[in-house]
Structure 1
Amino acid sequence: MAWNEPGDNKNDQDPWGGRRGGGRQGPPDLDEAFRKLQDSLNGIFGKKRSGGGFGSGGKGGGLGIFGIGLAVLAVLWLYNAIYVVDEQEQAVILRFGKFHETVGPGLNFYFPPIDKKFQENVTRERAYTKQGQMLTEDENIVEVPLTVQYKISNLQDFVLNVDQPEVSLQHSTESALRHVAGSTTMDRILTEGREQMATEVRERLQRFLDTYKTGITVTQVNIQSAAAPREVQEAFDDVIRAREDEQREKNQAEAYANGVVPEARGQAQRIIEEANGYRDEVVSRAQGEADRFTKLVTEYRKAPDVMRERLYIDTMQEVMSQTSKVMVTGQQGQNNLLYLPLDKMVGGSRAATGASAAPSTTSGAPDLGSRVANDLQQRDMRSRESR
């Protein structure tokens, strides 16, 4: 029945442990609560209560609480001692502060606090970005942004050799970048020299890291588009435009040279060929004249009179063919004859006036020479007959 219903049962108690009708009222006794808890724990660990209240538990109660604490500590230690290493990870174990082993993937166990564990991902590529103003070889200032991609190649060196390996990576990157930029001109950094510059930075940075034994391998260095500082950007743009104008003028000059030089070479070759032809012509003519003279000498020795007269006639024909007036004298200055070759005179006048008619033929000159030669021969024959 309810605790506050009427009745004669004097022993009924209320929920607070007091008796009806004048018993103790208030919250439950803490000693009683601790005693019940201790009884429950002793029942779990197989012990029986030997006393009355909480204070009467004596030595047995203290040992029970200590055992509980030890059990909790053991569970916590076991939870921390067991760990799992993923496929992409490795773990380095230090025992008493000294390297003990490198652990691969799987379920593993170590003994803290005797052992100390360092677990890192050794396959993931990490990235570090750097940007700063660099002084170039030609004493110009340029802003060079770059990104360094790296990964951990040796976890033992990464953990033990350097206190802060990634900070060392940043310092080494800045040193390598300044060294390479200081030995490169500004034009190469801003134009086609970025790839070569990135290669040199990566090689030098890797040598620094290997010297420090950081256990870091640099996989790639990417130098982005470099630019001049904002304070001098306008002047730098003027320099770029001037460089472009220079390149354009140079290309135009090269195009002009490519057109003029071959033409000049062709003209020079033509002149050389003409000179060679003239030389061959003169030499051949001289050789022909020499051969002709040699043959004439031979014939002259055979018949001097005939050859002398023939040479005279040929000479007169050659001379008279070049003049427009011929004076023929007879014997002892008599019967003088003035011969005017009209065809030569007409042809000469046409040539003088610059008419477009065809030049006059000189076929009359040989006929004139023949007639003169025949006339002279007849006169000689007559003089010989009269004698």
Structure 2
Amino acid sequence: MLPVIPILIVLGVLIVFAAFFMVKQQTAAIIERFGKFQSIRHSGLQMKIPLVDRVAGKLSLKIQQLDVIVETKTLDDVFVKLKVSVQYKVIRDKVYDAFYKLDYPHDQITSYVFDVVRAEVPKMKLDDVFVKKDDIAIAVKSELNDAMMTYGYDIIKTLVTDIDPDAQVKEAMNRINASEREKIAAQFEGDAQRILIVERAKAEAESKRLQGQGIADQRREIARGLEESVEVLNKVGINSQEASALIVVTQHYDTLQSIGQETNSNLILLPNSPQAGSQMLNDMVASFTASNQIGEAMKNAKPKKKNE
């Protein structure tokens, strides 16, 4: 009889310990009694009848995420892979439905995601898929909410996190983008080159204008100096023709003198003989005389034409 007592005590202790169990935070435990649903226990220290009640399972009440990759075809016949992230959780008041009505929620959610994506994406072109990815996510969430709410699951949010076209299509898209950027760059370079040419032409025109103005001012000053020289010479009894010839000869010899002062000059003034000055003077006097005669003849001819 004595050995039986310790065994009973041990069994009693084990039964007492088996009557208590812990449920973690944000977790729901389903209790069954003889295989039939009994109750749902939440976080904390809980008690059950040993050998009668059992913990049939536990469900997490936290938000969970399921990533689904769907391959489908767009309206312009481009195969593309979409990664859809579904965030969901078990509704606290519908733990019974979530546990007993649906065995594999991941498979159920995946099936609905495939169905919605393959119904929506074939209506869009590839560019529209990138632009309207939020519309696809909203359509998936709406469909999942209607279906999974019955099973005790709440769809918090759906996101299209990745759009991956075929490798050849991506390469072609990159080439198109590169070509467009090169075209824009070429347009900007052309505009800049055109502006540079216009500004350069304006600067050259302004330079020519200023250069011409400088030449005109120079000639005006030379003419004024010659005029003053002629007036001075006229005062000492030298007429205009002789004064002009004297000035030209003087400038001729001044030029020869300035050339002679340059040691490394290769300039040769023609004619440069000693008789050049006198010959130039004679030619100028003859030219002035001839021009005066022609002028007098023209003056005498005009009245005759009027009388006729």
| TM-score, normalising length: structure 1 | 0.41
Match of 1:155 among 95, 104, 108: 95
Partner of 2:72: 134
Q: Which amino acid aligns with 1:160?
A: Y
Give 2:289's aligned residue.
none
8 A contact 1:180–1:201 mirrored in 2:
no
Residues 166 and 132 of structure 1, relative CA distance in 2, 3 Å threshold? closer
Q: Does 1:109 align with 2:47?
A: yes
| Partners of 2:118 and 2:67 in 1: CA distance | 15
Higher strand share: 2
**Aligned Cα RMSD in Å?**
2.8
Change (3 A) 1:69 1:170: farther
SS across alignment from 1:224:
strand
Q: Tell me the residue number matched to 1:233.
A: 170
Corresponding residue for residue 144 of structure 2? 205
Helix, strand or coil: the match of 2:143? helix
State the SS of the aligned residue for 2:124: coil
Displacement of 1:182 in angstroms is 3.2
**Using the alignment, how far apart are the partners of 1:169 and 1:76 within structure 2?**
42
1:129-177 deviation digits (Å, cap 9, x = unpaired):
1223222234321111121111111211111111222332233333333
After superposition, the Cα gap between the structure-2 partners of 1:183 and 1:68, relative to the gap in structure 1 and judged at 3 Å, is farther
1:167 & 1:197 partners in 2: Cα distance?
20
The equivalent residue for 2:111 is 171
- Residue 180 of structure 1 corresponds to 120
Q: Which runs of 4+ in 1 moved over 4 A?
A: 238-242
What CA distance in whole angstroms lies between the structure 2 residues aligned with 1:205 and 1:138? 27
Pairing 1:1-387 to 2, within 5 Å after superposition: 60=1, 64=3, 66-117=4-55, 118-122=57-61, 124-153=62-91, 154-190=94-130, 192-210=131-149, 213-238=150-175
* Separation in 1, partners of 2:115, 2:12: 50
Tell whether the 8 Å contact from 2:87 to 2:156 is kept in structure 1 after alignment: yes
Letter in 2 for 1:203: S
What letter is aligned with 2:47?
A: F
Question: CA–CA distance in 2 between the matches of 1:106 and 1:72?
Answer: 26
For residue 185 of structure 1, what is the amino acid of its counterpart?
K
Offset of 1:70 from its aligned partner? 4.0
Separation of aligned partners in 2, 1:225 and 1:172: 18
CA distance in 2, matches of 1:134, 1:106: 47
Larger Rg belongs to: 1
After superposition, the Cα gap between the structure-2 partners of 1:209 and 1:182, relative to the gap in structure 1 and judged at 3 Å, is farther
**Matched-pair contact (CA < 8 Å) for 1:176–1:205:** no
Deviates more, 1:136-145 or 1:72-81: 72-81
Indicate conservation of the 8 Å contact 1:228/1:236, yes or no: no
What code does the residue aligned with 2:113 have? Answer: T
Higher relative contact order (CA 8 A, sep 6+): 2
User: Judging changes above 3 Å, is the alpha-carbon distance between structure 1 residues 205 and 71 closer, same or farther for their aligned structure 2 residues?
Assistant: same
Secondary structure class of the residue paired with 1:205: helix
Partner in structure 1 of residue 292 of structure 2:
none
Structure 1, residues 250-288: CA drift from partner, whole Å, max 9, x if none?
Answer: xxxxxxxxxxxxxxxxxxxxxxxxxxxxxxxxxxxxxxx
Compute the displacement of 1:104 (Å): 3.5
Shift of 1:92: 2.1
- The alignment-based identity, stated in percent, is 22
1 CA distance for matches of 2:171 and 2:75?
A: 21
Structure 1 gaps, min length 5 = 1-59, 249-387
- Matched residue, 1:275: none
Aligned length: 180
Q: Could you say if the C-alpha distance between residues 166 and 80 of structure 1 is closer, same or farther in structure 2, counting changes exceeding 3 Å? A: farther
Report the Cα distance in structure 1 between the residues aligned to 2:9 and 2:114, rounded to whole angstroms: 53
Q: Say whether the 8 Å CA contact 1:150–1:219 is kept in structure 2.
A: yes
8 Å CA contact retained: 1:125, 1:151:
yes
Give the whole-Å Cα distance in 1 for the aligned partners of 2:77 and 2:12: 67
Of Structure 1 and Structure 2, the greater helix share is in 2
Judging changes above 3 Å, is the alpha-carbon distance between structure 1 residues 120 and 112 closer, same or farther for their aligned structure 2 residues?
farther
C-alpha distance in structure 1 between counterparts of 2:52 and 2:108, whole Å:
29
Residue 103 to residue 185, structure 1, CA distance change in 2 (3 Å): same
